[in-house]
Amino acid sequence: MNGLSRHANAIMAACAIITAATAVLAVAGIALQLRAADATSRAQSAREAYAAHLALAVANPAFAAPGNACGLIASAQGAAYTAYVDHLLYAAEQMVSVEIGWDATFQDALSPHATLLCSPGHENADSPALSLLLQGFRADICPDTPPCENLN
């Protein structure tokens, strides 16, 4: 017992260091868990947005593959069609922001809507990932696609 008394201050200091280190590791572990949970949540949300868009495409085949997009835009369904394409862009933005490898899928999905996407007034993107996707799309598709007239 005399040895413990003699080294009590050193033992208490070592215990304090171990306690502090454990607390720091716990905080780091919590931060990693929160980051992983956020990534999982964002990926799940992106998949849900894409699944919702696929359901929308099945329910609206005339919007999914318009024969005459310019005519559709000018029709009474023009606003609904534009909203459909906006929803596609939202799903694309969500997916390309959380997972690599979706660019080709969305390039194909955007192709039927080239006349709308290549028209003035539809150049903006809300995120860097979507902006990059649209830049590639426009560079490949828009030079060969005449835009719709009088959309603005």
**What one-letter code names the amino acid at 88?**
L
Would you list the domain boundaries of the chain? 43-144
Q: What is the sign, positive or negative, of the torsion defined by CA atoms of 90, 127, 77, 116? A: negative
Flag whether pLDDT at 2 surpasses 80: no
Quick one: tokens of 145? 């696609």
| 29 vs 120 pLDDT, higher one | 29
Say what percent of the chain tops pLDDT 90. Answer: 26
CA 151 to chain centre: 27
Flag whether pLDDT at 151 surpasses 60: no
Question: Helices 78-98 and 103-110, interaxial angle, to 10°?
Answer: 170
**What one-letter code names the amino acid at 67?**
G
**What one-letter code names the amino acid at 82?**
T
* Dist CA 125 CA 115 (whole Å): 17
